[in-house]
Amino acid sequence: MNVLVDGLIFELQAKGGISRIFHETLARMCSLDPRLMIQILLSEKVSPLLIHERIEYCQITKAFRLLRSQRLWKPLVPMAGIIADGLLKAKGISDTKNKIWHSTYYTLPHSWRGPVAVTAADMIHELFPGLFKGHMNEQFCRRKRLCMERADAVICISETTRQDVIKLCNVKKELTFVVPLAGSEIFKPLNSEVISAELKTKKPFLLYIGSRVHYKNFDTFIKTYARWSLRNDIDLLLVGPALSEDEKMQHKKMGILDKVELLSGIDDAKLCQIYNRAVALVYPSLYEGFGIPLLEAMACGCPIVASSIPSNIEIAGDIPIFFSPNDEDELIRSLGKAVSESRKSSRIQDGFDRAKLFSWDMTAQKTLDIYKKLLHSKS
């Protein structure tokens, strides 16, 4: 069983995000099935590399490297089919009938004759077009839709994403498959004596993880935190990109600049320690395809305050303390409940059990099953 994976996502994201799916699953699939051979098509070396005797990295020629550079990729998304054909030609791959093309980010060779799988993470570009440049976003969404319409299998990371794909991209339900993601096994409860992560704050703190773009609903959260009566007792720790000057100015006006600490580029081991110390993870998004931080928090026994959106409910069940995403008063009540319940709530043990329902081994196995189904249906 031969699978060609366009490694575009590895070049767009060094780690995290969608690239994490492939970092976690490709080698696992090879270990699960000795017949599986994977070729990853790349224009440059990426790190960390996946190491397995049946994973081959195929470097493309300089001519195509120019087209695939991260700086130029977004304006060239409509050329994805041409670029993908160039990749095949550059590697001398002509017989594609019995091979699977797995697109990491909506690329599709025009001349491909075999089965096509595409991973769909979310529909943020379609649901929040105002966050992206108009013309370029329209081109990207068009290319994305064409790729999914051509695909024999659209691998959706949640039922939420699946329903959005069916509704917004006119994909037949029977061609969509839900393959949930997982958290790393490094996330677990820790004894207080082994928690050594050094933080500026010496107070209890709320934890927020990720970017702070519009659909993450961070503005609502930070405004609510600034109103919260317990803000003088409980600080706020952000894990994500550096604060902009505008954000610092905003926090200063709110009177919370000295209450907010930010960490960037930390590894999972330190993040695990932070989950183990946090009063609660606050996950206020308006939309998510899948929320891995929810799994990480549950695995560490960290209380969760989350927006009551479909994906959060799908993944975390009734473990979080939910609030309506745009209701600041309800969020304040939810934060207060998290503080009063602490880690003594029955939610914590239930969270441990729920987190165990997800694993990267399961994600790999479900993806492998889809590959087998594709080849069987095309034979």
- Looking at residues 351-357, what average pLDDT do you find? 97
Q: How far apart are CA 136 and CA 166, in angstroms?
A: 23
Q: How far apart are CA 46 and CA 68, in angstroms?
A: 13
Nearest Cα residue to 78 out of 7, 136, 128: 136
Nearest Cα residue to 362 out of 157, 169, 161, 165: 157
Q: How far apart are CA 351 and CA 209, in angstroms?
A: 19
pLDDT per residue as tens digits for the range 330-341: 999 999 999 999
Res 156: pLDDT: 98
Give yes or no for residue 74 having a pLDDT over 50: no
Quick one: what percent of the chain has pLDDT higher than 70?
A: 88
Q: How far apart are CA 122 and CA 378, in angstroms?
A: 27
Q: What tokens does 69 get?
A: 């550079």
Res 51: pLDDT: 84
Res 109: pLDDT: 78
Q: How far apart are CA 306 and CA 312, in angstroms?
A: 7
Q: CATH assignment of 192-355?
A: 3.40.50.2000
Q: pLDDT grade, residue 240 (50/70/90)?
A: very high
Name the DSSP letter for residue 104: S
Q: What tokens does 263 get?
A: 């960490």
pLDDT per residue as tens digits for the range 49-72: 788 999 998 876 543 443 443 443
Query: Taking all residues of the chain, what is their mean pLDDT, rounded to a whole number?
Result: 88
pTM of model > 0.85: yes
Contacts of 26 (CB under 8 A, 6+ apart): 5, 38, 40, 50, 52, 55
Contacts of 237 (CB under 8 A, 6+ apart): 199, 201, 205, 206, 207, 208, 260, 261, 262, 263, 274, 278
| Domain spans of the chain, in order of start | 2-181+359-378, 192-355
Q: CATH assignment of 2-181+359-378?
A: 3.40.50.2000
351, 352, 355, 357 alpha-carbon torsion, rounded to 10°: -110
**Least confident piece of the model among 62-71, 201-210, 286-295, 348-357:** 62-71
Res 131: pLDDT: 81
Give yes or no for residue 43 having a pLDDT over 90: no
Q: How far apart are CA 167 and CA 127, in angstroms?
A: 11
Topology alike, domains 2-181+359-378 and 192-355:
yes
Give yes or no for residue 255 having a pLDDT over 90: yes
- Looking at residues 335-358, what average pLDDT do you find? 95
pLDDT per residue as tens digits for the range 103-153: 999 988 777 889 999 999 999 999 998 888 778 888 889 989 999 999 999
Q: What tokens does 290 get?
A: 């899948």
